[in-house]
Amino acid sequence: MGFDQDRSIAFWGLGGALLVIDPLGRRLGQAEADGPIFEEIPEGFYYPHEESDLHDTDESLPQTAAVEIVTAVAGTYRVKLSITSATEAGGLVLRVRLPNGKLEKTEVILPVQPGEVYHFEITYDPDATTVPEIRRL
């Protein structure tokens, strides 16, 4: 995954399938591990089994799905994480390129069980100087 654009945003779902819905209602990812893959966001990419640099720092992380949106629009993103891995912890990691060019991340890690579903919201502003807060619904 590359972050070459000023408006790029990425989500990692730790422990399961990941579906992101952008402010315009377009979907990217998978609601369930065996469900259909949605690819409705232009310049958006879904990686069902991402081997990301997150695993370089913590090998105990569960299977990871990832969504990258190269030219993200401003507004509220809804995220669904369906836990499929037999793991004790899962969650959501968000990475955003800020206007100053810095790549920043934030995360929500929590105890999980296979079969559980979690919903999150993130309000993205490409001009913000801080990473948006992840709100668990």
Model confidence at 55, in pLDDT bands (50, 70, 90)? very low
Distance between CA atoms of residues 99 and 127, nearest Å: 6
Question: What is the value of pTM for the model shown?
Answer: 0.84
Check pLDDT > 80 for residue 124: yes
Domain coordinates in residue numbering, the chain: 9-68+81-136
Higher pLDDT, 7 or 1: 7
Higher pLDDT, 67 or 8: 67
pLDDT digits (tens, 9 = 90+) for 76-123: 999 998 888 766 677 888 888 777 777 777 888 888 888 889 899 999
Q: How far is CA 41 from CA 19, 38, 68, in A?
A: 12, 9, 10
Q: How far is CA 115 from CA 20, 33, 127, in A?
A: 18, 10, 37
Q: What does the pLDDT average to over 49-71? A: 64
| pLDDT of the residue at 119 | 93
Check pLDDT > 70 for residue 57: no
Check pLDDT > 60 for residue 13: yes
| pLDDT of the residue at 29 | 93
